[in-house]
Chain A
């Protein structure tokens, strides 16, 4: 029985050594952010201008807005717009990317369209959407989604192009059928591309949502608040809203997207 050789898998099941442990990453984040706040505080006290408020003042504005409820309501409405635009962009972008990535003719035909949309400035898309659709909730979602769709499509196209034909053939010879092939062969190969598109997508979408809220003349949202504060050169309010929203997005990133990506990659050696 020569195949009863010593199993070599057990040693490789051990967790990877040498990588940053989550706790040490948190420590580093705290140290570097504290340093940034300290530099900010010193700079603000040296300049002494109301156009460069210190951390304490910004925090005070944040507390005031939170107590009044305006911070929460504006964060909520912006987060809702981000979620809707993000979902629409991911679904449509993924569908387009998979279709053109798996059909050579479609790829050839639509490649230059993609290049065009990738290079179309966000401002142009936003302006045209408001001219054509008017100031509605739908316009905000559509304008943001159109900005993001080409990125998602390009990343998912790479995923579809790199689908493993050997595994596809195996699935056919072992009679997997459509559903089983999709679930166990195709989707696991596309998932890392989808996760990467989602992470880069979230960062892009929330920034564009703020611009859309400001330019589109919406009466609500973080973008609107910042735009109004900008009219008064009210820097403390601008920073208070910006920081609050960064915190919200980081919670989504660290609490949902990163764990999802780790889960998707757990089979890799």
Chain B
């Protein structure tokens, strides 16, 4: 385990194509076409593009949720521990926040011992015995982040985990994610349509275009961790990458 931690886990995506049946039942829509890329171990890769460009579909394929495509997804030597953080928090509403974290790990798993520390890190110690629906959406998202990082995954997949939050809350969650990831770097594939978010979080940005269903740009983000907290630097880098 420790050795794998050192090396990290790469992701190799080779999707020949992925189609959906067209609405109305006639023919098929090509969602992804010849999408190939490699994700370096412990890099934070952001998949971005307009809605409907197939980025969520791609993430579901990598997660193994959608086996119906032509191509391969491989992860280096051994089977990695994959964790998914969803667009909605997907907490069990009839279990408290703490119970949601406990249940996400097997009974008696050594990682259960990290729950208290994790609750402190995401600022949910006080709210841990509340039912999710009695907390704010921001708190539910923090619980979802905590649940994801508690897994200590080799590959972490995130599908727009910060949508429908107000700006300050979303910004706070991005900082929290950056802290969690810096203290335990893991291979991340992060889907978002928010350009600023992609620059702030990613070490590399893959842009998918609407319609063409493939990658149109592949850019390194040239920012230090400190520069990522500087709104001006982030916007300048965003301008360079997206030319907007």
Contact = CB atoms under 8 A, between A and B. Distances in A.
B partners with A:
yes
Interface of A: 1-5, 7-9, 12-13, 166-167, 169-170, 173-176, 180, 184-185, 188, 266-269
B63 A184 contact: no
B65 A169 contact: yes
B175 A1 contact: yes
B130 A13 contact: yes
Contacts of B127: 7, 9
Contact of B131 (A3, A7, A8, A267): A267
A5 B124 CA distance: 11
A3 B88 contact: no
Contacts of A13: 130, 134
A269 B93 CA distance: 10
A12 to B, nearest CB: 5
Contacts, number: 79
Contacts of B209: none
A99 B64 CA distance: 27
Interface string B49-80: 00000000000000101000000000000000
A105 to B, nearest CB: 20
B94 A267 contact: yes
Interface residues of B, number: 37
B172 A3 contact: yes
Contact of B83 (A173, A266, A269): A173
Given A3-B122, A3-B172, A169-B65, A8 B136 contact: yes
Contacts of B82: 173
Interface in B108-150: 122-123, 126-127, 130-131, 133-136, 138-139, 142, 147
Contacts of B168: 2, 5
B103 interface: yes
Contacts of B169: 2, 5
Nearest to B64: A173
Nearest to A177: B106
A4 B123 contact: yes
Contacts of A3: 122-123, 138, 142, 172-173, 175-176
B86 interface: yes
21 contacts: A1-B172, A2-B172, A2-B175, A7-B127, A8-B136, A8-B139, A9-B127, A9-B135, A9-B139, A12-B134, A166-B88, A166-B90, A169-B65, A170-B86, A170-B90, A173-B63, A180-B103, A184-B95, A266-B131, A267-B131, A269-B134
B44 interface: no
B7 interface: no
Given A5-B169, A269-B134, 20 more contacts: A2-B171, A3-B122, A3-B138, A8-B136, A9-B130, A9-B136, A12-B134, A12-B135, A13-B130, A173-B82, A174-B103, A174-B147, A176-B103, A184-B103, A188-B92, A188-B94, A266-B131, A267-B95, A268-B93, A269-B131
A4 B169 CA distance: 10
Given A3-B175, A170-B86, A184-B95, A8 B65 contact: no
B36 interface: no
Nearest to B127: A9
B84 interface: yes
A184 B95 CA distance: 8
A204 to B, nearest CB: 28
A123 to B, nearest CB: 41
A200 B203 CA distance: 59
Q: Which of A3, A7, A12, A170 has the most CB of B within 10 A?
A: A3
Given A7-B127, A185-B92, A267 B122 contact: no
Contact of B92 (A7, A167, A169): A167
A49 B90 CA distance: 66
Given A3-B142, A9-B134, A184-B103, A267 B175 contact: no
Contacts of B104: 174
